[in-house]
Amino acid sequence: MNILKDIPWEYPIESFLDEACLSRGSELSGEGRRFAEAVFPLVRPKAVYTDVRADCSDEVLTLNGVSFPGSVLNVLFKDCGRVFPFVVTCGDELESLPLSDFDSLAYYWLDMIKGAVMVQAEEYLRGYVEEKTGKRPLYAINPGSGGDSYWSLRQQKELFMLFPDIRGAIGVTLTDECVMVPNKTTSGIYFTSAVPYTTCSFCTAQFCRDRLNPPAQIS
- The CATH number of the domain holding residue 36 is 3.40.109.40
Residue 68 lies in a domain: yes
Predicted local confidence at residue 80, as pLDDT = 85
Q: Is residue 209 part of a domain?
A: no
The predicted pLDDT at position 217 comes to: 45
What's the confidence (pLDDT) of residue 201? Answer: 59
d(CA 10, CA 185): 18
Q: Residues 117, 184: contact at Cβ < 8 Å?
A: yes
Give the pLDDT of residue 69: 86
Tell me if 210 is assigned to some domain.
no
Give the tens place of pLDDT for each residue, 142-153. 998 777 678 889
Q: Identity (one letter) of the amino acid at 178?
A: C
Domain residue limits at 186: 2-202
DSSP one-letter string for 137-190: S-EEE-TTTTSTTTS-GGGHHHHHTTSTTHHHHH--EE-TTS-EESSSEEEEEE
Q: Does residue 130 lie in a domain region? A: yes
The pTM (predicted TM-score) of the whole model is 0.87
In a domain, 218, yes or no: no
Which residues of the chain fall short of a pLDDT of 70?
Answer: 148, 196-219
The reply to whether 141 falls in a domain is yes
219 within a domain of the structure (yes/no): no
- Which burial class, exposed, middle or buried, applies to 96 when counting CB atoms under 10 A from its CB (0-12, 13-18, 19+)? exposed
Which pLDDT does position 216 carry in this prediction? 47
Q: What is the pLDDT of residue 209?
A: 55
Give how many domains the chain has, as a whole number. Answer: 1
- Could you tell me if residue 214 is inside a domain? no
Residue-level pLDDT at 72: 83
